[in-house]
Amino acid sequence: MTTPVVAPAAPSIQVRVRALSSANPSTSGSPQPIKACVVKIKGSTWRPPLSNQAQPCSGFSEGGDVLSVSIAYLAPGQAHTQEVKVDDGAEQTLMVAAEFQRPSPEGEPLYIALGHHRQDIGIDLVDRSVRQANPANKEVP
């Protein structure tokens, strides 16, 4: 009797999106809940529709170049972690974005090439911007 050959599972990484205590300030300066998204894209050229610049997590769904979409609603100080499969040999990119009450130029989506990425990724939502977390994953001013 032969043993069946099982294909190895695609490697995966953990993506942690964290809304810091200063995330998404209202006009009075108090932090507010925020809608965040992690989008896995085929290739590196896809961008959200231009009509959605203030809402980069809205107005599209899986299909075509959009391989997966994960939406989380985070309160200040809250985090969301998800597993993302990384397909060897396929050019893929993660887009991480948030819908801020008062969008700013620093609030542009963050794009991370996956390629042969094997390290977990930390993302911080700070004030009105999306940033890759510092190595110690501590809050930054």
**Tens-place pLDDT, residues 24-47:** 998 898 999 999 999 999 988 888
pLDDT of residue 139: 46
Structure tokens at 127: 């004030």
Domain residue extents for the chain: 12-132
Q: How far apart are CA 85 and CA 58, in angstroms?
A: 23
Q: How far apart are CA 26 and CA 127, in angstroms?
A: 10
pTM: predicted TM-score of the whole model, two decimal places: 0.81
With beta carbons less than 8 A apart as the criterion, state whether 69 and 95 touch: no
Query: Which residues, listed in sequence order, are joined to residue 92 by a DSSP beta bridge?
Result: 42
Q: Rg of the chain over CA atoms, in angstroms?
A: 17
Contacts of 40 (CB under 8 A, 6+ apart): 66, 67, 68, 69, 84, 92, 93, 94, 114
> From 3.20.20.80, 3.40.50.300, 2.60.40.4150, 1.10.3720.10, which CATH number describes the 12-132 domain?
2.60.40.4150
Per-residue pLDDT tens digits of the chain, which is 141 residues long = 666 665 556 688 899 999 999 889 988 989 999 999 999 999 888 887 765 667 888 888 899 899 999 999 999 999 999 998 887 778 889 999 999 888 776 668 889 888 766 688 899 988 888 888 875 545 444
pLDDT of residue 141: 41
Q: What is the pLDDT of residues 123-135, one digit of tens each?
A: 998 888 888 887 5
pLDDT of residue 18: 95
